Structure 1
């Protein structure tokens, strides 16, 4: 029990030192809400605290600190224990992996254990190491969190641990804001020379199944009317996509665009300007992008596997990511039929179900419980 007037929380924010990913969205959404709690003092730490401050803003109960080491293991073994001791931290919140030198109570969010059920998409070494590290990190932690019912069931099954609470990802308000489609399209044409296009927002990995979108683009001859836009950074090379792409002639290749290292504002602009959004991922611990595109009322089709099976409001806009014909038919539907009203209804359902405030309240109650 802390003897200070306020409870202090260290938040490992090293993911903000690299490109967009789900864990970064999670921390940002969760702590945007949680820092409104004046009875908690927050210590947000990364290699670039000025960048963190530009994201979260200046608050009397938030202190930004800088890591000395870029290396993950030096950070966990040296940096973090020293920061916790020096600032008399009560709780430390980590994503996946905690520091083995424990000097306060731990909160860990294990977003998924996909590497166990889908080893073909991960290296053998990473599977062995992550299975050990994630399980030990969970054992070390007083508060165990995950982001979906699917992930909760899989983690408890593989780690034989219980007491996991779900703090779901949610969607930023900006995605729900009204906008003029024609005005957005004009801006996209001016900035990117893109008129009619299909978008897939995701980093590059084999499990993201980019080749399914490319095959549909070819099979349906969509290149005659549309461009295909892939928006996301590289994580792992996708050999199956490369094989399909390299076999194309230059005319079709010219209709395929890949953009990386974009900021949130650019991503939102390109998403709003799209004629259709697709999400054929084979495995996810949650899956934020299809919810973001529906929130923006962009006609969207989504994989019905793993954690995305929780998105039941997709109904007729679900597809089997192992079935190319199913994907092609659903893509044709959203490109040729007037379905905007369906996505306006779905957008409202997402807004009601997924809320950062709700997730922050769950964590806040756990912190109070474990003080």
Structure 2
């Protein structure tokens, strides 16, 4: 295969995308990313796309592989990986002739053919930086399913400079083999409300430990001393694991995209108290909806939100309360800043970065590098 450069830049690059551990509705922002990526690649005339999913997952532009079923939990993902290996011939047939295979969920299942370059997305290395939040089984799973594939890949894509620094530091991947491609937001899907807003704080996040729900509830309780009508609305899966909440907390669980967009339009503020994020899409979706953002100063969040949010210390409920109150008081300023900020963070730009990465590894293979 000859390198693609110069006048060859528009020659379609053959791309295969393996989504064999995808769990519909159960992966948060990484699922949003994978769906937007595949849809964006399918629309391009400089990409010849082949994408494969488990038989129980539907993705526009992808084929479902019979016999492979992905379920939530570490055991469920292990079964999907095992099935992908045992039925690897079916998956490879779906991805046949691809010059590069991309694994958006890190897990390289099944392994690409020798003549195919590999690109792996690593969203973060939270299991290395906050190991106490993971069970021994999950940490072991990530050693084999995340760390080793990342070290072996021709190129690693990640979603922020913060995440890249962790990958280089903890996994020992050469910095030249890690390419940062920020995620995007489809602003056409969000209608900004610049008028009156309802008296509730919104937090859309699964009930994972690093999402920090307990301290957020403590912070809202403090805020209610001066703002007694203020409520908290929680959306996302696994919230039942957090136990009971006060009666002023509305636990919605998993909601439709349409309902979440309405909540963004109505909320007084989006609170984002996460202790760790490789990127974090909800603040950008809120900004696109005209919703002020109060966010943690941890992880990649300041990098992603820039000057369009009020920041707080996520370990301190008093400071979380202060940040949320300040964001409500600065609604108009934050609305203007947020809409300007998200205008440049598009999925088209994200897809452009991926196509650049694919061409880079294909050219490298052709040159024997």
Instruction: Name the TM-score, length of structure 1 as normaliser.
Output: 0.82
Is 1:288 matched with 2:295? no
Is 1:367 matched with 2:366? no
Aligned to 2:339: 347
- Give, in whole Å, the separation in 2 of the partners of 1:159 and 1:236: 34
- Give, in whole Å, the separation in 2 of the partners of 1:310 and 1:89: 38
- Give, in whole Å, the separation in 2 of the partners of 1:87 and 1:115: 30
Shift of 1:328: 1.3
Is 1:299 matched with 2:289? no
Paired residues of 2:13 and 2:358 also in contact (CA < 8 A): no
Is 1:224 matched with 2:215? no
Residues 255 and 82 (structure 1 numbering): CA distance in 2 closer, same or farther, change over 3 Å? same
Unaligned runs of 5+ in 1: 54-61, 186-194, 247-252
My pick for the range that moved more, 221-230 or 265-274, is 221-230
- Give, in whole Å, the separation in 2 of the partners of 1:209 and 1:5: 44
Shift of 1:334: 2.8
Shift of 1:320: 0.8
My pick for the range that moved more, 102-111 or 214-223, is 214-223
Unaligned runs of 5+ in 2: 3-10, 70-78, 363-369
Aligned to 1:31: 38
Aligned to 2:187: 173
- Give, in whole Å, the separation in 2 of the partners of 1:46 and 1:87: 11
- Give, in whole Å, the separation in 2 of the partners of 1:205 and 1:49: 24
Aligned to 2:153: 141
Q: Tell me which protein shows more helix as a share of its residues.
A: 1
Moved over 3 A (4+): 47-51, 174-182, 235-238
Shift of 1:181: 4.7
Residues 39 and 165 (structure 1 numbering): CA distance in 2 closer, same or farther, change over 3 Å? same
My pick for the range that moved more, 164-173 or 92-101, is 92-101
Shift of 1:218: 1.7
The alignment partner of 1:17 has SS state of coil
Deviations 1:63-115 (A, max 9, x none): 52334221322333133443214652422221111025432322210101101
- Give, in whole Å, the separation in 2 of the partners of 1:139 and 1:322: 33
Shift of 1:311: 3.4
The alignment partner of 1:68 has SS state of coil
Paired residues of 2:12 and 2:48 also in contact (CA < 8 A): no
Aligned to 1:7: 14
Residues 260 and 13 (structure 1 numbering): CA distance in 2 closer, same or farther, change over 3 Å? farther
The alignment partner of 2:144 has SS state of helix
Paired residues of 2:84 and 2:91 also in contact (CA < 8 A): no
Aligned to 1:156: 168
Aligned to 1:108: 120
- Give, in whole Å, the separation in 1 of the partners of 2:20 and 2:84: 12
- Give, in whole Å, the separation in 2 of the partners of 1:341 and 1:327: 19
Shift of 1:273: 1.0
Residues 9 and 29 (structure 1 numbering): CA distance in 2 closer, same or farther, change over 3 Å? same
Paired residues of 1:167 and 1:359 also in contact (CA < 8 A): yes
Residues 235 and 35 (structure 1 numbering): CA distance in 2 closer, same or farther, change over 3 Å? farther
Shift of 1:292: 1.4
Instruction: Name the TM-score, length of structure 2 as normaliser.
Output: 0.82
Shift of 1:171: 1.0
CA RMSD of aligned residues (A): 2.7
Deviations 1:178-208 (A, max 9, x none): 44755xx7xxxxxxxxx53211111111111
Aligned to 1:59: none
